[in-house]
A and B are shown apart, each in its own frame.
Chain A
Amino acid sequence: MKVIFKTSYDRDIDLHKDGWARARIVALVAVMAALPFLVGEYYLAEATNTLIWALAGMGLMLLVGHSGQVSLGHAAFLAIGAYTDTALMNAGLPFVVTFPAAALAAGLFGALVAIPAVRMSGIYLAIATLALFVIVEEMIIIAEPITGGVGGIMAPAIQIAGIDFDRYGQLDRFYWLCLAVVVAVTWAYANLLRSPTGRSFLAVRDSEVSARALGINVTRTRALAFGLSCAMTGLAGALMGHYIAFFNYELFSIFISINLLLVVTIGGLGFIQGAFFGAILITAVPQAITILRGVARDSLGVDIGGMPGLDTMLFAMILIGFIIYEPTGLYGRWLKIKAWVELFPLARRDMFRRQKSYLKTERQK
């Protein structure tokens, strides 16, 4: 196990604990950037989808994992992001304007909604966000001139400084665009967590009464967390709109909200990395099922193609399994494996026993 000798406070303030950790992140981003040269069109599209899910997952992670609030309606903010971006682009504005506008619209709407909503907690907040989702869905259908109503709307091709980022024409560029956004947001998110703002989120999550006693305005902090979370989700929504290219309100169903919750819980609540682990799982499982179907049909002669709901069932089983056996999620499991390897052969069974406690968000009040 590596022991780091710290000689200045900056070692703790820095994002990475040492040069080795930084090098690993740089290598990961480099591999991700080189992906268009390594894999075919189909898998690149899947990777793009995973990135967009990771972005939306980070949005919800900030809310659920770091500020202790539950939202069952985050698909609404994906929708707000997507429709704001597309509608403004259809009105003739360039993507560099519409994309931040999507974040701003979703963020402001989120913060506005949060002011009354954050007075609730636990199951009540979950129901309120669910209601919000239904309202937003209905509003999209009603606002037909802007949103295309039930019929749907076409997201125009992205152009930045004369360069095309069309999802179908130039998938590699669209992928790089998504990657750049995800890297930037991850960086900002990580910065947030090592600064007073992030600490105030954690404070509000873990003990409201002592947060107040330390001078933290709980209502404002929660509204800020809500707003930032929705802004991130809005960015993901805008990208998702372009990724799907032609969409209507059905793209942002309640299942998307639930899948987002799966991303953060299975990934590992309270870790940025968890959003990525969760996003990979949520986009890989349908792929795995498709492959499984092929295998079952070709070699076993069993046709499971006509079994609807298989994905949902599998997701549900995975979620139940995680809640029972690994409440800290995929990332928590990864940390344990890492510690086991680092300490080999000295790791003990009970080492993580104390950590098996639940975050406040997971408890019912």
Chain B
Amino acid sequence: MSLLEVEDLAIHFGGVKAVDGVSFAVAPGEVFSIIGPNGAGKSTIFNLISRIYAPTRGTIRFNGRDITGLQAHQVAPLGIARTFQNIELFDHSTVLDNLLMGRHVHRSTNFIQDMLFLPAVRRAERAHRHRVEEVMEFLELEAYREKMIAGLPYGVRKVVEIGRALAVGPELILLDEPASGLSVEESQDVAFWIEDMRRDMGLTVLMVEHDMRLVSQVSDRVLAVANGKPLAQGTPSQVQADPGVQAAYLGTEVAQ
């Protein structure tokens, strides 16, 4: 059975059909990438899955459950975490606090217990902290633990975003252009991390990415979209060889 099933998904902003009839299914433990030219609707698909937008048509099922009617904050507790293309971190907090904010779905205390800081709160804090330290070790973020996000370089912020999503402890992680703006070395790191997420953590990865090198290196299957419509689906090499995909990227004349 598929972990995530998207069926005939569509969203129209006025006359603009940002996403129009996209269907795909992601199997557990798979790395699935969505590629396409700028404005193809890739990030919109992510925003639809994380319920920031309400679709005009279509259904999204996670673990067999229809999540199309849920609110945005009800998605993460199911086990779906995401990153953002244009980094959306909490700028005035430290890296540590950003990652701890990722533990929100696992909180076990209410605000009255928190105000009195009862022993249960301290116990929970220790447990959250332990989990967050594991994520930090995995992503080699220890050196930045106490640093404010506002003062960090772009590449590190990108990694903190991934870390915050991992801290949620998800089943499915949505990575929105994890390698955009990164150097060759940094995007190679991202490739290794994605491999490890799948192999060691048993995560399923859904990724939007422009860097074809990264996509073909880590993906099991690829979906190409253009102008909100699906073009081709299959292994990275199949999709790259697809004439429709080549036309969308390079223009019709060159492809012919």
A interface residues (Cβ-Cβ under 8 A, vs B): 9-10, 12-13, 188-189, 191-192, 194-200, 202-203, 205-207, 209-218, 224, 228, 270, 354-355, 357, 359
Contacts and interface: CB of A to CB of B under 8 A. Distances in A.
A96 B114 CA distance: 23
A188 B115 contact: yes
Nearest to B151: A354
Given A215-B76, A218-B73, A197 B101 contact: no
Which 5 pairs from chain A and chain B are nearest by CB?
A215-B76, A195-B114, A206-B90, A212-B72, A210-B88
A202 B148 CA distance: 13
Interface stretch (B22-30, B77-85, B210-218): B77-85
Contact of B168 (A200, A209, A214, A217): A214
A271 B104 CA distance: 23
B114 A355 contact: no
A228 B111 contact: yes
A325 B110 CA distance: 40
Contacts of B209: none
Contact of A215 (B74, B129, B151): B74
A195 B125 CA distance: 7
B103 interface: yes
19 contacts: A9-B133, A195-B115, A196-B107, A196-B124, A200-B101, A202-B90, A202-B93, A207-B89, A209-B84, A210-B164, A211-B73, A211-B101, A213-B72, A213-B82, A214-B104, A214-B105, A218-B73, A224-B111, A357-B91
B73 A197 contact: no
A12 B96 contact: yes
Contact of B129 (A13, A206, A209): A13
A127 to B, nearest CB: 26
Contacts of A194: 117, 125
Most buried by B among A10, A196, A224, A355: A196
Contacts of B128: 196
Contacts of B133: 9
Nearest to B152: A354
Contacts of B96: 12
Contacts of B230: none
A212 B89 contact: no
Nearest to B76: A215
B105 A209 contact: no
Given A196-B114, A215-B73, A210 B104 contact: no
Contacts of A202: 90, 92-93, 97, 101
B104 A215 contact: yes
Given A196-B107, A197-B111, A355-B148, 5 more contacts: A199-B93, A202-B92, A203-B104, A210-B89, A216-B104
A356 to B, nearest CB: 10
B178 to A, nearest CB: 15
Contacts of A188: 115-116
Interface of B: 50, 52, 72-77, 81-82, 84, 88-93, 96-97, 100-105, 107, 109-111, 114-117, 121-122, 124-126, 128-130, 133, 148, 150-151, 164, 168
Nearest to A270: B92
A13 B74 contact: no
Contacts of B105: 214-215
A213 B75 contact: yes
Contacts of A207: 88-91
Nearest to A359: B92
Contacts of A270: 92
Nearest to B100: A199
A288 B237 CA distance: 77
Nearest to B127: A9
Contacts of A199: 93, 97, 100-101, 104
Nearest to B115: A188
Contacts of B101: 199-200, 202-203, 211, 214
A359 B91 CA distance: 9
Contact of A355 (B75, B116, B151): B151
Contacts of A211: 73, 101
A196 B103 contact: yes
A6 B73 CA distance: 35
B113 to A, nearest CB: 8
Contacts of A192: 111, 114-115
Contacts of B76: 213-215
Contacts of A198: 114
B65 to A, nearest CB: 16
Contacts of A203: 90, 101, 104
Contact of A195 (B91, B117, B150, B168): B117
Contacts of A217: 73
A202 B130 CA distance: 21
A302 to B, nearest CB: 46
Contacts of B117: 191, 194-195
Nearest to A207: B88
Contacts of A216: 73, 104
Contacts of A205: 90, 92
Contacts of B52: 209, 212-213
A355 B92 CA distance: 9
Interface centre among B102, B114, B125 (most CB of A within 10 A): B114
A39 B49 CA distance: 64
Contacts of A212: 50, 52, 72-73
